């Protein structure tokens, strides 16, 4: 069998050249934007830390880089924990601030891919503000209906899986906080 240059080899070479040029452009673009992307990610992390631990501008990473310590001068103001779990639409990642006296000071959703209008409502302040209270020793519990009592969070209507996922992340942060406080 003889290879026909016009039918086989020419299209193969053209496709190879197109792929090579495209890959080259993507590599150059990546090299040009890598530092800017890293800078933006660092700014986002810093602003999220300041949001979940209000009034704190200085943060120091823990020795094992698993959490951040919020400080004002030499005084510790609280801790910031980043946790991740599975939710309805995939991975869900949160950042939780806990004051030095054990109060959850804020929760920020870092990444979520749940259903718009349902699970994405977890990003709303009205839902996240439910966590702003003393951290229960055994973590928060999600309730589907009625008024949430101490240590309870009202689930979002139609998004119980997402409500449970966010609560699981916050509870993991509380567990980490208890280990940090127990270690001091």
**What pLDDT, in 10s, does the model give residues 68-98?**
999 998 899 999 999 999 998 889 999 999 9
Nearest of 137, 83, 129, 88 to residue 110 by alpha carbon? 83
Rounded to whole angstroms, the Cα distance separating 19 from 31 reads: 18
Residue 91 vs residue 8, higher pLDDT: 91
- Give the mean pLDDT of the chain: 90
pLDDT band at 183 (very low <50, low <70, confident <90, very high): low
The structure's pTM equals 0.78
Mean pLDDT of 121-148: 90
Report pLDDT digits (tens) over 24-75.
Answer: 999 999 999 999 999 998 888 888 999 999 989 899 998 888 999 999 988 9
Contact criterion met (CB below 8 Å) for 52 and 106: yes
φ, ψ (nearest 5 deg) of residue 77: -100, -25
What DSSP character marks residue 144?
S
Q: Does pLDDT of 142 surpass 80?
A: yes
Rounded to whole angstroms, the Cα distance separating 153 from 122 reads: 12
Mean pLDDT of 140-165: 88
- Whole-number pLDDT of residue 107: 96
């Amino acid at each position: 069998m003889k290879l026909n240059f016009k039918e086989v080899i020419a299209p193969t070479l053209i496709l190879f050249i197109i792929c090579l040029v495209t890959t080259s452009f993507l590599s150059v673009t990546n090299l040009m934007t890598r530092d800017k992307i890293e800078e933006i990610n660092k700014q986002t992390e810093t602003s999220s830390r300041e949001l979940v631990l209000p009034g704190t501008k200085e943060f120091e990473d823990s020795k094992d880089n698993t959490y951040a310590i919020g400080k004002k001068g030499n005084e510790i103001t609280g801790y910031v924990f980043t946790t991740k779990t599975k939710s309805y639409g995939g991975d869900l990642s949160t950042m939780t601030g806990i004051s030095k006296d054990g109060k959850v000071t804020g929760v920020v959703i870092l990444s979520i891919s749940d259903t718009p209008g349902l699970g994405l409502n977890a990003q709303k302040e009205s839902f996240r503000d439910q966590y702003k209270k003393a951290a229960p020793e055994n973590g928060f519990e999600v309730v589907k209906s009625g008024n949430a009592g101490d240590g309870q969070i009202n689930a979002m209507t139609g998004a119980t899986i997402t409500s449970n996922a966010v609560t699981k992340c916050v509870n993991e942060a509380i567990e980490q906080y208890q280990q940090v406080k127990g270690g001091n």
